[in-house]
Amino acid sequence: MRAHWRTRTGFIIAAAGSAVGLGNIWRFPYMAGENGGAAFILIYLALIFTLGFSVLMAEQAMGRASQHSPVRAFRSLKGGFWPVFGMIGVLTAFVILPFYSVVGGWTLGYIWKSIEGVAREKGAFGAFISDGGLTILFHAIFMAMTIWIVHSGVRNGIEKWTRVLLTLLLVLLILLAIRVLLLPGAEKGIEFFFSPDFSKVTEDTIHAALSQAFFSLSLGMGVMITYGSYMSREKPLAGDAAWVVGLDSMVAILAGLVILPAVFAFGLDPKAGPSLTFITLPEVFAQMPGGKIFGVLFFLMLTVAALTSSISLLEVVTAHLEDEYQLSRVPTSIGAGLLMFLLGIPCALSFGAMADVTLFGMTFFDLMDYLSGKILLPLGAMGITFFVGWVAWSRVVQELNGEQGGIPGWASLWRLMCAVIAPLLILWIMFEGIAG
């Protein structure tokens, strides 16, 4: 029999754990910093509560209706060539997890560097990520933790661990936010965060907000189909989806409120890009009273956030192999995890020994990031929404209310999102993404 979440909040916890990750704490604040602050945040929130919410429910409904992982879900709801979109999801896990685990390894390394007190030294980050031996070691530790949780199963691994880790994350985040907001000068950061300047909004801003929304909610590759397949039919779907979207955006905003005011309080540059977390923040912590302990806690929180997302990536592959080939969980999760570890090695070396090895002008790391974010996730999300809106609608719509029965009044609005608006918007991101 298929495994189900142990508790009524099982799906919310696991799905929020998947959604909340490096995308919220590392990527969101620098994207907001680079794209004009509040205006970006408002557009992002508008997108996540309309489009993100609709795609999330589409995946959840497919999973729960079919009680299968992505490929079989498409097959049992319709068949034909549709399972290809499930395969794209499985493939996407092999593209995201290798580089995600490398960054997860960096965050682990930075816990250690913060304890040693060397995280803020000039050039420390560059030196660290170009040290192949060290980054591969941390990547291996991060991957081993991921495999450990997934191999323990849906209830005793994913649900149990995510509950603990997500709670830890929220506590740490609130603690850090309070500390930072008490810093003199933090108001400037808060102002930047809350006063939108719409004159800075361009097509690029919207485009950036849209791809960030998919990545951040873990949409387009079947994570939510897989997690949805472990749901029983008692509850209506929309409430759980709203919780996940709400928690994901709350963490992004709180992370922004930790990082941007701190950056402003010390007169640093909010537009530092991807290095904002690893270079600018250690600088902030070094200048702040009690900074060492807060630095350690921050990187611990980042590692925890990354871990609850990486397990969802490995789970997609594990569940697929279990369902399709009746393989057992333990060897499958270990085997798939090892393969992803190997694929991560060239990603880890992309900043050192293999920095000059490029394909289409990108290092291995950049190529995996590009392929997943700009091509595979949007393609998967387009397939899923189109499928739900046009092909499997009559079956999937029955899922909304679950055992309660009936179809809610807003279902036609949801259909409009899935059938027309989402696929068109996604097509636009993809063309923009590939051209840009």
Which residues bind to ligand PHE, rule: CB under 6 A?
18-19, 21-24, 96, 215-216, 218, 221, 223, 309, 312-313
Least gap, CB of 302 to ligand PHE (angstroms): 10
**Contacts from 105-108 at CB under 8 Å and sequence distance 24+?**
105/135, 105/136, 105/137, 105/138, 105/139, 105/140, 105/141, 105/142, 105/348, 106/135, 106/138, 106/278, 107/22, 107/299, 107/302, 107/303, 107/306, 108/138, 108/141, 108/142, 108/299, 108/303
CA distance 21 to 252: 9
Decide whether 172 or 265 has the Cβ nearer to ligand PHE.
172
Decide whether 186 or 223 has the Cβ nearer to ligand PHE.
223
What are the phi and psi torsion angles at 79 (to 5°)? 85, -145
Q: Which pair of structure tokens corresponds to residue 394?
A: 């009559």
Decide whether 107 or 280 has the Cβ nearer to ligand PHE.
107
Helix residue spans in 222-290 (DSSP H):
223-228, 237-265, 280-287
Least gap, CB of 133 to ligand PHE (angstroms): 26
Closest by alpha carbon to 3, among 137, 121, 150? Answer: 150
The 3-state DSSP class for residue 117 equals coil
| CB-based contacts of 325, cutoff 8 Å, min separation 6 | none
Decide whether 69 or 264 has the Cβ nearer to ligand PHE.
69
CA distance 78 to 100: 33
Least gap, CB of 118 to ligand PHE (angstroms): 26
Least gap, CB of 221 to ligand PHE (angstroms): 6
Least gap, CB of 217 to ligand PHE (angstroms): 6
Reported as type and span, the H/E element at residue 377 is helix 377-386
Decide whether 31 or 419 has the Cβ nearer to ligand PHE.
31
CA distance 45 to 25: 15
Decide whether 125 or 215 has the Cβ nearer to ligand PHE.
215
Tokens 């270079």 appear where? 279
Least gap, CB of 86 to ligand PHE (angstroms): 14
Decide whether 313 or 347 has the Cβ nearer to ligand PHE.
313
Least gap, CB of 279 to ligand PHE (angstroms): 20
Least gap, CB of 325 to ligand PHE (angstroms): 23
Closest by alpha carbon to 256, among 198, 176, 201? Answer: 176
CA distance 135 to 345: 9
Decide whether 266 or 298 has the Cβ nearer to ligand PHE.
298
Decide whether 259 or 400 has the Cβ nearer to ligand PHE.
259
Least gap, CB of 66 to ligand PHE (angstroms): 20
CA distance 119 to 293: 12
The 3-state DSSP class for residue 172 equals helix
